[in-house]
Amino acid sequence: MKKRTAKKKTLVRKKPMEKTRDLTPEEAMDFLESFRKIIGHQDESTQLISLRVPANIIRAFKVKAKADGKKYQSMIVQALRDFLRQQS
């Protein structure tokens, strides 16, 4: 009786791209904008500012933040981001 042997699979190697296409500045900007949307926006380091805000607004953020288990300053920054997104 003859033993059966498994056939070896041959790997097909893909050829590297021989030539890449140059992008126009507009295509590059479109690509970068799409990439930014996919990965999300990375913030820069924070900057200390002095801003006068009515006490009732700060109090409302603090109460909401405490109820949600978040930091109130982070909620204010998110509200600013949301506002800027709506304006663009």
pLDDT value at residue 32: 81
pLDDT value at residue 2: 63
SS3 for 76?
Answer: helix
80/52 Cα distance (integer angstroms) = 15
41/59 Cα distance (integer angstroms) = 28
**Which of the 8 DSSP states describes residue 19?**
-
pLDDT per residue as tens digits for the range 60-81? 999 999 999 999 999 999 999 8
Average pLDDT over residues 9-19: 60
**Which of the 8 DSSP states describes residue 18?**
S
The CA-based diameter of the chain, rounded to the nearest angstrom, is 92
pLDDT value at residue 43: 75
Average pLDDT, the chain: 82
